[in-house]
């Protein structure tokens, strides 16, 4: 049984809040503004109701970030440790992989509902 788009949007907004918080911990992150925009748009949709066109546009925008040609696929919140010569996760970003997967999965879940 499929969940209503309104419930998925609530989960998507929560996941976008989590990922933007993680990205803020990385001063080198180039994607924070993009995800802040997704979050702003998601909050507006939740506040005003799940209108088909804004929901579809948001989900298409999110999914396009993950396309094969996007440099986003190379991003990971890491910092270089000159003592070890290795990159390590920035403290507080350990959940990045799970949260970003959730963002993508929720945008896909909405896409499968009706004409979204």
Q: Is 17 exposed, middle or buried (0-12, 13-18, 19+ CB in 10 A)?
A: middle
Asked if the model's pLDDT at residue 90 lies above 90, the reply is yes
Q: What are phi and psi of 8, to 5 degrees?
A: -65, -40
Q: What is the pLDDT of residue 68?
A: 79
Q: What is the pLDDT of residue 1?
A: 67
Contact 62, 20 (CB under 8 A): no
Asked if the model's pLDDT at residue 115 lies above 60, the reply is no
Q: What is the pLDDT of residue 38?
A: 97
Q: What is the pLDDT of residue 113?
A: 75
Sketch the domain layout of the chain as residue ranges: 5-111
How confident is the model over 31-46, as a mean pLDDT? 96
Structure-token pair, residue 56: 């579809």
Which is more confident, 1 or 61? 61
> Mean pLDDT across the chain, nearest whole number?
91
What predicted TM-score, i.e. pTM, was given to this entire model?
0.91
Q: What is the pLDDT of residue 75?
A: 93
CA 24 to chain centre: 13
Q: Is 34 exposed, middle or buried (0-12, 13-18, 19+ CB in 10 A)?
A: middle
pLDDT band at 17 (very low <50, low <70, confident <90, very high): very high
Q: What is the pLDDT of residue 4?
A: 86
List the alpha helices (DSSP H) in 25-111: 32-48, 52-65, 96-111
How confident is the model over 73-99, as a mean pLDDT? 94
How many residues does the structure list for the chain? 116
């Amino acid at each position: 049984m499929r969940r209503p788009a309104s419930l998925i949007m609530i989960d998507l907004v929560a996941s976008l809040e989590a990922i933007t918080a993680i990205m803020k911990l990385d001063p080198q992150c180039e994607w924070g503004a993009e995800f802040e925009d997704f979050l702003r748009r998601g909050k507006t949709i939740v506040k005003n109701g799940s209108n088909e066109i804004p929901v579809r546009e948001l989900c298409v925008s999110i999914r396009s970030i993950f396309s094969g040609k996007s440099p986003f696929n190379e991003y990971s919140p890491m910092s270089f440790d000159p003592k070890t010569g290795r990159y390590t996760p920035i403290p507080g970003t350990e959940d990045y992989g799970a949260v970003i997967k959730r963002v993508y999965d929720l945008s896909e879940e909405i896409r499968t509902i009706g004409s979204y």
